[in-house]
Structures are given as structure tokens and as C-alpha cells.
């Protein structure tokens, strides 16, 4: 088997309406696909060459802080951090300068971790 690319990163959420508001209004992502059937709902956001998928209602897909993490590359790191603070988003790791990049780790309303990242 040869893996060519990452198809998408997925997060399970408990309240799809609240999650759509968070990812759309707080993080500013645009929905590119919506699927709803049989008590399940999935929304996709294409970001660069990758895709973030959020979903609810699938039996083996549960939210939590100990799962994976997506890192969002931003144009303006300081503005992104200011937006998180203004929206009272829970910050799990304060802004850090590694020498190669700037990063901050925060959580969505279900506790799923994500990173705001800016390469130097």
C-alpha cells in the first residue's frame, strides 16, 4: 500500500448546529459539502489541499480532547489569537514561538483540540 495524501481530518461533535456556527462564524470556514441522513450529519470544509469534516450521529465517532488535532495555517497569527480570545474560545496552550513557527492550541465546543499555526 502507498498512501498518497491525507483525504480529510474528521471531528465528531455532539451538536451539529452549534459546531457549524463555531467552525463557520468563529473560525471563518466555508462549508463545501453537507450530508444528512438516518440521524447523522456531516459537514465538510475544504482548506487548501485538505478537508476538515465534522459530524454527529455515527455510532463509532465520538468527540473528545484526546483524539487527533488539526493545525490551521493562518495568514495573521496575532489576529487569529485575538479572534479566539474575543470569542472566549478555550485556550489549552498559550501562544508559543518555536523559532520555526508560532502556535496556540484551543478547543472547539466539544473539547476537540485544534491548533492555530503560522510558519515563519
Residues 6+ apart with CB under 8 A from 37: none
What three-state secondary structure class fits 25?
A: helix
Span 60-101, pLDDT tens digits? 777 777 767 888 999 999 999 999 999 999 999 999 998 888
E runs forming strands in 1-120:
9-12, 33-37, 40-47, 50-56, 70-73, 91-97, 101-107, 113-119
> Using CA atoms, how far apart are residues 8 and 12, in angstroms rounded to an integer?
13
Span 18-43, pLDDT tens digits? 999 999 999 999 999 999 988 889 99
Give the pLDDT band of residue 49 (cuts 50, 70, 90): confident
Cell of 52: 476538515
User: Which pLDDT value is given to residue 3?
Assistant: 57
User: Which pLDDT value is given to residue 89?
Assistant: 97
> Using CA atoms, how far apart are residues 52 and 79, in angstroms rounded to an integer?
22
Amino acid at each position: 500500500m502507498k498512501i498518497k495524501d491525507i483525504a480529510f481530518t474528521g471531528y465528531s461533535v455532539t451538536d451539529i448546529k452549534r459546531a457549524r456556527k463555531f467552525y463557520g462564524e468563529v473560525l471563518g470556514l466555508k462549508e463545501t459539502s453537507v450530508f444528512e441522513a438516518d440521524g447523522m450529519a456531516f459537514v465538510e470544509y475544504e482548506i487548501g489541499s485538505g478537508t476538515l469534516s465534522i459530524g454527529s450521529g455515527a455510532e463509532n465517532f465520538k468527540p473528545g480532547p484526546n483524539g487527533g488535532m488539526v493545525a490551521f495555517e493562518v495568514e495573521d497569527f496575532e489576529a487569529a489569537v485575538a479572534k479566539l480570545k474575543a470569542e472566549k474560545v478555550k485556550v489549552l496552550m498559550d501562544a508559543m514561538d518555536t523559532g520555526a513557527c508560532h502556535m496556540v492550541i484551543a478547543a472547539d465546543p466539544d473539547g476537540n483540540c485544534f491548533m492555530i499555526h503560522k510558519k515563519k
